[in-house]
A and B are shown apart, each in its own frame.
Chain A
């Protein structure tokens, strides 16, 4: 936690967060005096999800999403908390940068979507060509911009050229200079109502989408694919796609176990808000599900390293995902029942 100054001299507290989008949204609310934690934003914005998209490829690997599509958590959370945001995209980079400077001078802090590959301060091995990384710009400095990237534990400096490129470079999920800042924030939003909406929406997303690649059914689909993969693709190729999956579980700023721990943290906060023992119990269930996802990661890494070949097999890795699917199905069915009893 570090305190920084914004363009008009107001203090801004930089919090270390697990995921870029939720942490940025939380910080934008916090700067307006409304204290909503990162897990709370994640829960209210119905962030938790599962989707296995074999037809969409990023850097030659299929997408396994553990969260809803980029941008939706921010939009849903803003709507449910009754906040007004100015949201803009640009065709002309020059215009986009000029408007950013103007808005900063007016004393706002600004959220931006950027391409992770071109941000100058990201280390070489974490650079992916992915255009949905969210950051906050605090103020302009002589050398460029002062940036609060919540996935780092301290604010960063970024050159103006680097930022312009990161905002406007075409690529998968072209950000097109996506920029957002608060217009007005409701000082006392109905948190309970917002939580109920978020939870109900999440249950629907996990259980009800009638396609076999989303939600609980998506997990089973992925599990079956992993079990069959060494026969179908050969050991090397199967390891590659397995490693890709583990990167989606752990590496994409998930706070551990594909956002499952973050959701457990949300359940815990909600349990206190409603004074509900059932939600507290569900939080513990979610923690256990997260532990199973982590077990999957460990097994996968051992398969790749070829340690203990007898015990660590693709069948075991797939089996762990099937276990996760069963437990998450039970979890969200239970949550559906509990939510009905909650009163706003």
Chain B
């Protein structure tokens, strides 16, 4: 890859830049900061969209009373019951039980506090889910080079 070929297509790192190794005119490798490549944006966008869709499914399940709010907050932090169990210091089988709304509603405050601390949310937040879909701040500004074929 030459310096002129280092992708500068989308401001995908939200203002930050990433280092790429590329050959300069004398054929030496140098570090070139890149603001983002549309290919990466495609694959990352897919992963982000997938997580968001899954989270939205869970939110609706919570609203419908099929899952506990704990499940929503766990998924929001990209955790699975095993990891949440380690983080909160609560046995794995108990965490799995607490994903059921009827059992979650009966939990006493000390257990809820441990979950709240592990997930970095307040107690009130932990017991509810947002009314609307969580909006992620994703800013993608295409510039003139994005149309160029590579």
A residues near B (Cβ < 8 Å) are: 15-18, 38-39, 59, 117, 123-129, 151-153, 165, 169-172, 174, 239-240, 243-244, 246-247, 250-251, 253, 255-257, 261-262, 264-265, 268, 287, 290-291, 294, 297-298, 300-301, 304-305
Contact = CB atoms under 8 A, between A and B. Distances in A.
29 contacts: A15-B31, A16-B31, A17-B31, A18-B19, A38-B31, A125-B14, A125-B44, A125-B48, A125-B138, A129-B78, A129-B79, A151-B18, A153-B19, A153-B33, A239-B46, A240-B50, A243-B47, A244-B47, A246-B43, A247-B43, A250-B39, A251-B40, A256-B22, A261-B22, A264-B21, A264-B29, A291-B1, A294-B1, A301-B38
B150 interface: yes
Given A240-B50, A247-B47, A294-B1, A127 B16 contact: no
B104 interface: no
Given A250-B39, A264-B21, A171 B48 contact: no
Contact of A255 (B20, B42, B137): B20
Interface in B1-44: 1, 6, 13-14, 16-23, 28-29, 31, 33, 37-40, 42-44
Contacts of B6: 256
A298 B43 CA distance: 10
A123 B83 contact: no
A238 to B, nearest CB: 12
Given A18-B19, A251-B44, A297 B14 contact: no
Contacts of B97: none
Contacts of A239: 46
B43 A304 contact: yes
Contacts of B44: 125-126, 247, 251
Given A126-B13, A170-B83, A268-B28, 17 more contacts: A16-B33, A17-B19, A18-B20, A123-B14, A124-B136, A125-B138, A129-B77, A153-B16, A153-B33, A171-B79, A246-B43, A247-B43, A250-B43, A255-B31, A294-B1, A300-B43, A301-B42
Contacts of A38: 31
Contacts, number: 121
Contacts of B39: 246, 250, 297-298, 300-301
Given A264-B21, A287-B1, A243 B87 contact: no
Interface in B66-114: 77-79, 83, 86-87
Which of A256, A264, A297 counts the most B-chain CB atoms under 10 A from its CB?
Answer: A256
7 smallest beta-carbon distances between A and B, as pairs: A265-B29, A170-B86, A261-B21, A243-B43, A301-B39, A129-B78, A301-B42
Contacts of B14: 123, 125
Nearest to B30: A265
Contacts of A300: 39, 43
Interface of A, secondary structure class, is: helix
A166 to B, nearest CB: 11
B19 A16 contact: yes
A303 to B, nearest CB: 10
Given A153-B17, A256-B21, A165 B120 contact: yes
Contacts of A304: 42-43, 46
Contacts of A257: 1
B37 A255 contact: no
B11 to A, nearest CB: 11
A300 B87 CA distance: 36
